[in-house]
Structure 1
Amino acid sequence: MALKQYRPSSPARRGLVLVDRSHLHKGGPVKALTEGLTKTGGRNNTGRITSRGMSGGHKRKYRVIDFKRRKWDVEGTVERLEYDPNRTAFIALVAYADGEQAYVLAPQRLQVGDKIVAGKKVDVKPGNAMQTSQMPVGTIIHNVELKPGKGGQLARSAGTYAQVVGKDRGLTIIRLGSGETRYIRGECMATVGAVSNPDNANQNLAKAGRNRWRGKKPLTRGVAKNPIDHPHGGGEGRTSGGRHPVTPWGKPTKGAKTRDPKKASNKMIIRSRHAKRKGR
């Protein structure tokens, strides 16, 4: 992947850095693999804002992605790579030998014309999906299931990946990008390789309007508000907001732990992402 830089022909172009998408398909998506997508503006069924910072944005079609990869032992050919406005990663249109088509997350180094396959145990090459119990230790993976048959939930964003670091009593030990190390069941599926578009994090949108096109609305800082509007508000001159940052509703934020200590899946976590890393 490469980044595109622009000449400063206007203030909005100065500093603009975007991902080069010239290698992607120029047309629209496959109609049979799309669904309508309704914008909520962050409002619930009573019209009240329940998710702040959402508004407007360009109209989108939702691309139905095959996160389950349960079409076993049927080889597919990558017909094209496409941009998906609903996610940061690129997607690949796969045509299977039986004539069926599907969208999958495109891993890095996957090219048009490549063959991919899913099964209990297949070759370790980018795009192939198999059960984690059959993967060699050290394999880089993405689109990882937490429950067999539910579909991939972990490592789906651009440039992300997890790694198989061990096996234990029918369970697979994986290390996530956050630093968390955890068990997952060996029957869970995962796809080999890291997710495409790693340069997504290096973009510079250069103007507020580009975020509005993406459906993101600016949020006013709490310290800039009045005391009646936010716990951080008020005070003489410019203030930092106090020692304990909170949300507008008084809940602790910026590092406060929110995970339930009695959550059933806690026993699957070997090392928390909040654990102190070496060298820090």
Structure 2
Amino acid sequence: MALNRLFASLTVTSNLITRRTIHVSCYNLASKPNIHKPKPGFGKSYRRIVHFPNEYTVKPLDVTNLAGRDPVTGRVVAKGIGGGIKHKYHWIDWHRDGPTEGPPQEEKVIQIMEDGCRTAHIALVAVGDKLKYILATENMKAGDILKTSRNLPRIPVRANEGDAYLLGALPTGTLVHCIEKAPGMGGLYVHAAGTHGTIMRKQDDRVIVQMPSKRLFSFSQHCMAVVGRLSNVDHGNTPIGSPQRNRWLGNRPRSGLWKRKDGRHGRKIKPPKPVKEIFHPTTKPLPVIKLNMHP
């Protein structure tokens, strides 16, 4: 009889716990829906959205600044982004396409300018009756003639700075940037200011390139690359200079995490330690050792 009562009480208790758990779960689900909060990184920028038209144009594109928020939910994802000077976006043409036979295609540099949405400088280039933007190299200037070719000769070509050739057509030791991942995809690697890759060696139909991170990448010999080092070499060595200029760049302050005296990792003001007494060492007599004959 007592055993039946015990089972009945356990059954009632379990039913109450189950009902309460379901009630609380439903309440939490209704009041706090499970909204997926994105995380910064993973190749997605929460600084700005560029409105690209359907066709390529050299006109500056309109930009919507996100201030570190997700464009869908409006939630703050990156807290360190906000404010800054508004910049127009210049559309870079990543495809340097040329003839596969005969003499290379010639392009003339019209103007070298700065772009607020990227670290390297850009160049306005005329190709026939069309204009396009490309990344400028270290010593590129207005009036230069650039050559572009997809021909793979038997003997490596002697290319000048700013020329675009296949990796298999360039000699070992050439500095390159804007390297294609696959033939025809457009320049994908090495875009930052002052960076470059180096052609180390060739293995069959592959070309080994040392990236700015000192890691070796193996590309197909039919991938295009631009010769030379990218412009704005001193970008990484130039100090910001002031907190106000950091705000112009679109970086928000860290909300007082660090203070010199009492903040995080700061120099804390602590009371002095108590007085330490120093005594002259005194010689104490050694204890007397008593010996006996018993083990």
Q: TM-score range by the shorter chain?
A: 0.5 to 0.7
Equivalent residue, structure 2, for 1:194: 229
Whichever of the two has the greater Rg, that structure is 2
For 1:144 and 1:55, how far apart are their aligned partners in 2? 32
SS of structure 1 residue aligned to 2:230 = coil
Q: How does 1:1-280 map to 2 (within 5 A)?
A: 32-44=58-70, 45-72=72-99, 73-96=104-127, 98-121=128-151, 123-219=158-254
Please give the per-residue CA displacement for 1:115-150, whole angstroms capped at 9, x wherever unaligned. Answer: 002111465111111111111111011111222222
Unmatched 5+ residue regions in structure 2? 1-56, 152-156, 270-295
Please give the per-residue CA displacement for 1:139-198, whole angstroms capped at 9, x wherever unaligned. Answer: 011111222222222221111000001111211100011110121122211100000111
Higher RCO by CA contacts (8 Å cutoff, separation 6 or greater): 1
Select between 31-40 and 215-224 the one with higher mean Cα deviation: 215-224
Shift of 1:223: 8.3
Please give the per-residue CA displacement for 1:31-87, whole angstroms capped at 9, x wherever unaligned. Answer: 743211111111111111122311111111110111221254431111111111111
Unmatched 5+ residue regions in structure 1? 1-30, 225-232, 239-280
SS of structure 1 residue aligned to 2:236 = helix
Please give the per-residue CA displacement for 1:90-114, whole angstroms capped at 9, x wherever unaligned. Answer: 1111112x21111111111112111
Aligned residue identity for 2:138: Q
For 2:186 and 2:257, how far apart are their aligned partners in 1? 38
For 2:234 and 2:65, how far apart are their aligned partners in 1? 27
Aligned residue identity for 1:184: F
Q: Provide the aligned length of Structure 1 versus Structure 2.
A: 197
SS of structure 2 residue aligned to 1:34 = coil
In percent, how many aligned pairs have the same letter?
A: 32
What is the TM-score of this pair, normalised by structure 2?
0.62
The structure with the largest helix share of the pair is 2
Select between 157-166 and 215-224 the one with higher mean Cα deviation: 215-224
For 2:60 and 2:158, how far apart are their aligned partners in 1? 30
SS of structure 2 residue aligned to 1:210 = helix
For 1:69 and 1:163, how far apart are their aligned partners in 2? 19
What is the TM-score of this pair, normalised by structure 1?
0.65
For 1:186 and 1:49, how far apart are their aligned partners in 2? 44
Root-mean-square deviation (CA, aligned residues, Å) is 2.3
Please give the per-residue CA displacement for 1:220-251, whole angstroms capped at 9, x wherever unaligned. Answer: 58788xxxxxxxx99xx79xxxxxxxxxxxxx
